[in-house]
Amino acid sequence: MLPEACLRLVEFDNMQVDIFTQVIVPVIGGLGIFMLGLEFMSNGIQALAVNKMRALLAKIAGTPSKGVLAGTFITGVIQSSTAMTVMVVGLVNAGVIGLRPAISVIMGANIGTTLGNGLIALPLGPLGLLLAGIFALVHIFAKTDKLKNIALACMGFALIFYGLNLMTGGLRPLRNMPEVMGVISALRADTYMNLIYCVLIAAGITAMIHSSSATIGIVMGLGAAGILDWKTAVAFSLGADLGTTITSWMASLNLSKNAKRAAYAHISFNIIGVAITIPLFFVSMDVLTWAMQWFGGDPGIPVVKDGKETFPLVPVAVGLYSTFFNIFNTVLLFPFVGVFERVLLKVGASSADDVEDYSQPRYLTKATDHGHAVEAIRRETGRYLEAATLFLDIARGRPDAPDKIEEHYAAIDILNRDIRAYTSGMFTPDMPYPRADLVASLIEEEDFTASLGETLYQIARRVERQPFGEHGRKLVDTVLDRVGEALGAIVPIDEDKPTANAVAEPRIMGLLALRERCLRLGAELPWVERGAILALLGSAERAFFLVERIDSERRSVSREVPAMAAQQVRPAE
């Protein structure tokens, strides 16, 4: 049975609130849907053509200035800096945009959310559920992977809105608690200490309801009703900008280091802005009072309407100050985007960060001629194979191996797509047959190397998921050693005299001997381990054949391009 405290009805202002069904359920459920939506969106984007997405976003937010404009415009349209920031964190996690443009987009998002503070409550929550349902059906019944991934990303983004809406609705009854409202109405930002209290309380409220616009809307209502004086209401808007950073931090908890750094950029950006603004607060109030003469007059002067005093200019003052604060903050910190990036790259830095980022091509630059392009592809393919061999280090449990097998697999998958796109771009209508034959051979080699990378990933994943005892571990280590020895025939790519022969047949005979040892072991090798080892032997056999096929493909067509012929071919992009 559920605790009685969870089921009891609480009465506030003649309104009964069921704490369990009206607060706990929607808050926890909304949080789960929010996190699931972020995961869906990130996975959908990752599975799409990441290189095309990267190029598209480079046009929109490839530079800090364009990033600020993109963040301002998009957030101004959707009226949610929280959703915009969460989306940016998801895109960083998917590897679509880098940290520097993400920082500038977040700066722009802070400005964009102030452009429509008059439109506090957009019905995005129910719309999010409707869109999530539509895209879920598309995802289920789609016939192509591309459409499925687009639907998955869109469904995730819609669920983010719906999850935030559920959390906000679940916490809405707490607004009627006399204790909460009593604390708010008792505060006055008349000293620096009270100002800090106001900022912190507003930050806490915003962190709970996950919407700075909603907090500012509440503050506007309290100020217009005279519950808060107008300067205190303005102070609360500062806290709202601070509290909205909690959502991006929550969104990054289970994501990559760069995604966490994007969230930290949002947090540090707003904290620095608030820290700079607080000492200037009372001076800025004098400036705001002077500026309000063009917007109706002194916001502290009440207007009597229907026998009741109201302060209709308080919302105007709050909105004006919030807009000014975010623009001032962006103008002040925008020149330091590079500094932000360098500092944030040190946050959470470890020896794992010294491992090369294989999701980014190193050699696929604009080619000066055909020979240059072929050499770039050859080197990048070799780099892909070096990255794939790290799966064996993961399987062996080496401390310097990549931390997360899935992230490493995703990184080299992106690299393989970039290599294929670059190679395909070498084809030209007037290309002579020998050159076309070479490009085709390179593409075939890339296909075999991708299959080898997939096989090594499967080996590492099987070893990682299945614990082995003493006897089983010896067999596993033997398999890994023999696969590593076979890779010496093709890695490193510049090796004039490979350390091993690429012929698969002798190695397969060795696998048969290991298979016999595995089957002859008795109770000392549990059946679960025995099955996993037999599966590993099958993967090792595939790896041997692929190594032989890659070596054969390299020998089938010479990778050397004569200088004169190279100059006759249009440079590869």
Q: How many residues does the chain have?
A: 573
What stretch of H or E contains 56? helix 50-61
pLDDT of residue 241: 75
The most distant pair of C-alpha atoms in the chain lies apart, rounded to whole Å, by 98
CA gap 309, 111 in Å, rounded:
32
Strand partners, 308: 305
- The phi-psi region of residue 307 (left if phi > 0; otherwise alpha if psi is between -120 and 50; otherwise beta) is left
- Distance between CA atoms of 44 and 235, rounded to whole angstroms? 40
Beta bridge pairs of residue 17: 10
Q: Which of 420, 486, 422 is nearest to 455 (CA)?
A: 486
Beta bridge partners of 305: 308
| Residue 85, both tokens | 């920031």
Question: Residue 236 is inside which H or E element, if any?
Answer: helix 230-243
Within 10 Å of residue 459's Cβ, how many Cβ atoms?
A: 25
Name beta bridge partners: 18: 9
Separation CA 86–CA 32 (nearest Å): 15
User: Quick one: pLDDT at residue 146?
Assistant: 84
What is the rounded (10 degree) CA torsion for 200, 202, 205, 208? -70
User: Which ranges constitute the DSSP H helices of 346-499?
Assistant: 370-396, 405-424, 433-465, 470-487
- DSSP assignment string, 461-524: HHHHHS---HHHHHHHHHHHHHHHHHHTTTSSTT-SS-SS----HHHHHHHHHHHHHHHH--TT
- The DSSP symbol for 335 reads G
**Cβ-based neighbour number of residue 14 at 10 Å:** 6
The CA–CA distances, whole Å, from 230 to 175, 221, 282, 321 equal: 20, 11, 12, 11
**Contacts of 91 by beta carbon, 8 Å cutoff, 6+ apart:** 42, 45, 57, 97, 102
Q: Which two tokens stand for residue 57?
A: 């976003």
Give the gyration radius of the chain's Cα atoms: 30
First to last CA, the chain: 67
CB atoms within 10 A of CB 35: 17
pTM score? 0.54
Nearest to 550 by CA among 499, 491, 508, 483: 491
Backbone CA torsion sign across 17, 22, 25, 30: negative
Distance CA 450, CA 452 (A): 5
Cβ-based neighbours of 514, under 8 Å, separated by 6 or more: 475, 478, 479, 537
Q: What is the rounded distance in angstroms from the CA atom of residue 525 to the CA atom of residue 502? A: 32
Instruction: Determine contact, residues 31/159, Cβ cutoff 8 Å.
Output: no
Token pair listed for 509:
């005979």
Closest by alpha carbon to 564, among 435, 462, 423?
Answer: 435
Any bridge partners for residue 11, and if so which?
16
- Can you say how many angstroms the Cα of residue 104 is from the centroid of all Cα atoms in its chain? 15
> Nearest 5°: phi and psi at 310?
-130, 165
Question: Cα torsion at 409, 411, 412, 415 (round to 10°)?
Answer: 160
Helix (H, G, I), strand (E, B) or coil at 133: helix
**Stretches in the chain below the pLDDT threshold 70:** 1-18, 23, 35, 38, 42, 45-63, 74-98, 113-126, 164-165, 167-186, 209-218, 220-222, 225-227, 247-248, 250-259, 305-310, 347-356, 367, 494-496, 562-573
Q: Are 213 and 167 in contact (CB under 8 A)?
A: no
pLDDT at 54: 47
DSSP bridge pairs for 9: 18
Is it true that the peptide bond before 178 is cis, omega within 30 degrees of 0? no
pLDDT of residue 391: 95
C-alpha 131/C-alpha 375 separation (Å) is 48
Residue 475 is encoded by which pair of tokens?
């067999």
Secondary structure string (H, E, C) spanning 145-203: HHHHHHHHHHHHHHHHHHHHHHHHHHHHHHHHCHHHHHHHHHCCCCCHHHHHHHHHHHH
